[in-house]
Chains A and B, each alone.
Chain A
Amino acid sequence: MAAAVSPAHDPAGDRDRSGSPDPAPKGRAKADSASPPASRPASEPAAQPPRAVLEGPDINRALMRIAHEILERTKGAEDVVLLGIPTRGAPLAARLARYIEQFEGAKVPHGSLDVTMYRDDLRLRPARALGATRLPSCGIDDRLVVLVDDVLFSGRTVRAALDALSDLGRPRAVQLAALVDRGHRELPIRADYVGKNLPTAKSETVKVYLEEVDGRDAVVLIKRERA
């Protein structure tokens, strides 16, 4: 249903996604989002050869560091709930929960929070399929919710996530973890935990590939030339 819209032409999109702008539900990921951009036909003039910014091991190292920081800053992550923003924030939240458990033996509840219905750019594209919202059974009231996303860009997704959270309950506090912070904020929002700060041009696209969704781990920077 959603027509493919190039992220480069998406004025309000704050997260660069791979291939498909439509966060397809699990198991129905589009084929082209799994294939690296390098495999695109050479005839496509807009894309230059992509540069891998982070490879698989780098991603896990960054996540481990974030896990340590969460433990440190929340004094053992006792009342923490990790909520990933679909599509790729959700598996990142699950990985963070796993690392925290590995490091400290603490079981951190985690889930996903879809923000589609709260976005401020809905009318700029055809209606999108919804991602999953799966709250852990403990709920979020009086918990410290750490929102997890793959790329932090304009901050609009996080704004939507804060609205969505307030309809679901009343956390004690909300923090933000992002695998990549690429800058260009359009709202007064900053991340509490960042895997990698990545200076980018606004015209560039950052794509995150994750094993769970795309079959491999990588963060790729694609230069797009203005037509």
Chain B
Amino acid sequence: MSGGAKGGTEVSGEYLIKGARLLGGEPADLLVRDGVIAAVGPEAASATAQVVDADGLIALPGLVDLHTHLREPGREDAETVESGTAAAALGGFTAVHAMANTSPVADTAGVVEQVWRLGREAGHCDVQPVGAVTAGLQGERLAELGAMADSAARVRVFSDDGKCVSDAMLMRRALEYVKAFDGVIAQHAQEPRLTEGAQMNEGEVSGRLGLVGWPAVAEEAIIARDCLLAAHVGSRLHVCHVSTAGSVEILRWAKSKGWNVTAEVTPHHLLLTDELVEHSPVGAYNPIYKVNPPLRTREDVEALRQALADGTIDCVATDHAPHPVEDKETEWDAAAMGMIGLETALSVVQRAMVDTGLLDWAGVADRMSFRPARIGRLDGHGRPLRPGEPANLTLYDPSVSRLVEPSGFASRSRNTPYIGMALPGRVVATFLRGRPTVLEGKLQ
């Protein structure tokens, strides 16, 4: 990302990271100097560098989130670029894609540049704005996609996330149009008529609880349609927060055809199920479990894990969605949808994918850094840990366990579904182009 790289001209110190297991492999030393990885292994030596003891820690390329709600402008009570990127850095991220459903909507060059600038000022991680597909997220006419692409923010990912581009003709045009600047449409797959008033996954639990069901088919039907459209016009489609086993099957089929389709899954869909709405330590109908798309069944969780492991799903994206307390401490129907996730993502992925043996740390690096950076066309991120590469790094201790205590979060919001839960691992340090944004677990 040239925009982000320009933001990284700050003078950075020299750090010698000792004994980190690169992508979970053998321990090695890393010398970071002038914003890049200067040396790896025996050549990494310096008398002047600040030493970071990374014994037992895993070194990963800085994590990249394709799906973050920073809420600024408009809902600064829930999150700001400053607080959201601080949360991102603490979660091991060096770049986040800021979703477009702000107020005003990020549907013009002006708004995306504002968000991009706020990110540079905050400096905790790179902020890559996502542009809206349709003006005002109204689903009626295309936003000025080209102007956003050409702006200082260099937008490549476009999404009406929160709303589905449900009009097939509009979706086709959007897919076609972004080919001109190598853009991608990130679709929030939710057939609106099938989900009118929907509250939670349609199934056994929704039937018992008397909550309006959110059928899997409402997601799958849109994904199937969009895969066909993307293939027809030869464009790139990215599917946001895949949540069902059926969606996985459709994606597998589309990929088997060689179509240019990618997909993401959220950490919470890899770990949590709709049973929590009925039975949980925080009581039935607790809206901390209310999210879009909804938590699904065990079978879906299992299918999503397998799909992430075999690459059918390309990456993990947090869908970090902050909401103020008053929007969650309500009856279920009245509550806002969404969960925060930046500060727990890596731990949840460890629990769901690594501790289960489905993915090794190299796999985690691929799904949380390499691939999302490629999908988002972020040039300076998701690079291998080799000399000469930008020093975007995360040091992670997988051996500890921590109790999730939202009051300690950097995020302005507290709507985590993991409250009181013990999760493995801890981000010890994050480096953004050679500058530590987090050291010893503390924001710098």
User: Is any CB of A less than 8 Å from a CB of B in the complex?
Assistant: no
Residues of chain A at the chain B interface (Cβ within 8 Å): none
Give B residues with C-beta under 8 Å from A.
none
